[in-house]
Amino acid sequence: MAFALDPQVAEIFAPMAAAMADMTPPQVGDVAGRRAALEGLIAHSDTAQPAPADVTITDHHLLTADGEQILLRWYTKQGTPSEPGPAAVYFHGGGMILGHVGLFDGSIARYVSASGTPILSVDYRLAPEHPHPTPVEDAYAALVWLHEHAVELGVDPARIAVFGDSAGGGIAAAVSILARDRLGPAIALQVLVMPMLDDRNLTADPHLAPFVAWSWDDNRTGWGALLGDAIAGPDVPAHAAPARVADPAGLPPAYIEVGQLDIFRDEDLTYALRLSQAGVPVEFHLHPGVPHEFDGIAFTTDVAQRVMADRIRVLSSL
């Protein structure tokens, strides 16, 4: 039996698919074209749902080791208890090449409002202007910053998670490896939502090809921007592509989810299995009938409501 979109998702995607049918996708390596096309779609998805009125947003700035300043945006629910509690550091999606924290204000505020867990969103620098290791080093520096400012922000440093979707999920996984290898700040949980983990995933799967929202050309463009000529070669470090980790033992517990029609399906399944085999506690969800980042557009569907309930449950449990 062939794959098919979830019927509710298919109904919502149909007008968008029809509108895009005659459009020519950007060529491999066209970062500017992808930014122009996808950042508008992300902005539309983020504002399609109402922003909660009970979340306060405060901006901070981090001076990086190479002398640049990056934005850290802190989201808290009003009326949160004063005693130290959990928090998450969030890294946005965008294939390593696009996006910024402002495009995700609504999404992050909704997570915070529903879970009560504050979130620090990181405006890490993007490839190709800032190739590896800059994005993951920015992300790691933000984790260190939150640990250093935990007391003043009312955070228990033993209850800090890393959280990301797509490229941000890959960065969250990479930060977890970096923190382990450097004996750095503790991470209570890595929340990896359809994470982008493996630079070697460059060959189209004909079973998935009719459904992809992030294609193999997109993937080659994103990884190529991050890694340059090293992409898919023997020398890519796990701090860039977490699927390359030689030994996952000692990494933080993980929550991992992916759609069955997502090109990241196999690398995410494999990563969950490898973590489990190394003794790392894992909660894994494979959602049938849905492609990459479906929940931002088809947020009214039953499957989107289920995935959001799981993410909120996990954030609340910290």
Would you list the DSSP string of 46-110?
HHSSPPPTTEEEEEEEEE-TTS-EEEEEEEEETT--SS-EEEEEEE--STTTS--GGGGHHHHHH
pLDDT level of residue 79 (50, 70, 90 thresholds): confident
> Rounded to the nearest 5°, which phi and psi values hold at 281?
-65, 135
| Residue 2 falls inside a structural domain | no
Mean pLDDT of 147-171: 98
- Percent of the chain surpassing pLDDT 70: 100
CB 263 within 8 A of CB 6: no
| Residue 147 falls inside a structural domain | yes
Catalytic residue among 138, 198, 218, 262: 262
Q: What is the pLDDT of residue 273?
A: 98
| Residue 1 falls inside a structural domain | no
Q: Which amino acid is at 157?
A: P
Mean pLDDT of 17-26: 78
| Residue 311 falls inside a structural domain | yes
Question: Quick one: tokens of 177?
Answer: 């490896």
Catalytic residue among 45, 166, 217, 218: 166
Mean pLDDT of 171-175: 98
Cα gap 61→65, rounded to integer Å: 13
| Residue 116 falls inside a structural domain | yes
Residue 262 known to be catalytic:
yes
Number of domains comprising the chain: 1
Token pair 């096309």 is found at 37
CB 217 within 8 A of CB 201: no
Residue 317 known to be catalytic:
no
Mean pLDDT of 109-125: 98
Q: Note the pLDDT tens digit of each residue in 207-227.
A: 999 999 999 999 999 999 999
pLDDT level of residue 73 (50, 70, 90 thresholds): very high
| Residue 265 falls inside a structural domain | yes
Crossing angle of helices 105-115/302-316, nearest 10°? 60
| pTM for the predicted model, two decimal places | 0.97
CATH of the domain at 210: 3.40.50.1820
Q: What is the pLDDT of residue 1?
A: 65
Residue 292 known to be catalytic:
yes
Catalytic residue among 123, 138, 292, 295: 292
Please give the residue range of the domain that contains residue 218.
Answer: 7-21+28-316
